[in-house]
């Protein structure tokens, strides 16, 4: 979409701008086309920026500041799988780019696109989605770097992450944001991941520190340390 198309439609702004690592094809095989059309049927003005140049934030300003949020997706395929073989060799083609041309999206493009959206309009809520974000919504082992990485939600500094088949979730999120809700208020939406403080009526139980003296003795070389915590409701006074 371009500014000229917005003018032809009589739009002065978009409610939602979706940024995707795929070329835009208005077909149900392409996730961003489904999401865009679905939101459009709900009355939202949706703009799509497909395969933008990620070297600067300017291409992410092409449709102006969205009224509700930026939606960011790596596309139909994980960008690292799209770019590299299982042997970590560079691929030179891309099935989701015109002419099959490779190199039209960055590595970990969800993170890169999210950063550029923040640079373009830092006060606009940022919502991640698609297979790349869904598979990284919690701490995970990253094959490419051979490290355990934290949630993509933290690395992208996004407000929300919609995982799985999020058609219903994205409509509810859009409607509630349009009604004035803050992203942090949407924790009850099914299929939404976000960071929040441990509620006052919960107790956070942290994992034992394996570097403590009493734990270190039982630790063997090569053991993996996994940091984790659990939040449990506090018992009521009545038991």
Res. 33: pLDDT tops 50: yes
Query: Residue 3, Cα to own-chain centre: how many angstroms?
Result: 25
**Per-residue model confidence (pLDDT) at position 83:** 86
Range of the domain at 222: 202-233
Residue 132: phi and psi, rounded to 5, are: -65, -45
Residue 214 lies in a domain: yes
Same domain flag for 166 and 72: yes
Residue 238 lies in a domain: no
2 vs 154 pLDDT, higher one: 154
Same domain flag for 27 and 119: yes
Q: What global pTM score does this model have?
A: 0.79
Same domain flag for 176 and 208: no
Question: Exposed, middle or buried: residue 155 (CB in 10 Å: 0-12, 13-18, 19+)?
Answer: middle
Residue 81 lies in a domain: yes
**Per-residue model confidence (pLDDT) at position 100:** 82
Same domain flag for 174 and 125: yes
Same domain flag for 102 and 119: yes
* 3 state DSSP class of 45: coil
Q: Are 140 and 108 in contact (CB under 8 A)?
A: no
Same domain flag for 151 and 207: no
Same domain flag for 169 and 206: no
Nearest by Cα to 205 from 231, 226, 227: 231
Beta-sheet pairing, 16-20 with 69-73:
parallel
Question: Exposed, middle or buried: residue 156 (CB in 10 Å: 0-12, 13-18, 19+)?
Answer: buried
Number of domains observed in the structure of the chain: 2
Same domain flag for 36 and 114: yes
**Per-residue model confidence (pLDDT) at position 113:** 94
CATH number at 171 reads 3.40.50.280
Q: Which of 35-39, 72-76, 93-97, 143-147 has the lowest mean pLDDT?
A: 93-97
Q: Which segments of 121-166 does DSSP mark as H helices, in order? A: 131-134, 152-156
Per-residue pLDDT of 35-87, as tens digits, reads: 999 999 999 999 999 999 999 999 999 999 999 999 999 988 888 888 888 88
Same domain flag for 46 and 139: yes
């Amino acid at each position: 979409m371009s500014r000229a198309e917005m003018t032809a439609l009589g739009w002065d702004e978009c409610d939602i701008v979706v940024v995707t690592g795929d070329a835009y094809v208005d077909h149900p095989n392409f996730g961003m086309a489904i999401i865009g059309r679905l939101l459009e049927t709900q009355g939202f003005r949706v703009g799509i920026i497909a395969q933008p140049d990620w070297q600067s934030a300017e291409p992410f300003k092409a449709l102006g500041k969205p009224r509700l949020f930026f939606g960011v997706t790596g596309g139909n395929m994980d960008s690292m799988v799209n770019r590299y073989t299982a042997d970590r060799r560079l691929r030179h083609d891309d099935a989701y780019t015109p002419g099959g041309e490779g190199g039209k999206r960055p590595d970990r493009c969800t993170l890169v696109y999210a950063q550029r959206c923040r640079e373009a309009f830092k006060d606009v809520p940022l919502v991640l989605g698609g297979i790349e974000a869904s598979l990284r919504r919690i701490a995970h082992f990253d094959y490419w770097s051979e490290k355990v990485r934290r949630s993509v939600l933290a690395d992208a500094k996004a407000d929300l992450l919609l995982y799985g088949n999020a058609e219903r979730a994205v409509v509810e999120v859009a409607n509630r944001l349009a009604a004035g809700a803050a992203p942090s208020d949407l924790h009850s939406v099914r299929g939404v991941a976000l960071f929040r403080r441990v509620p006052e009526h919960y107790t956070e139980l942290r994992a034992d520190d394996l570097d403590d003296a009493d734990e270190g003795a039982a630790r063997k070389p090569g053991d993996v340390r996994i940091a984790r915590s659990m939040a449990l409701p506090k018992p009521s006074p009545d038991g």
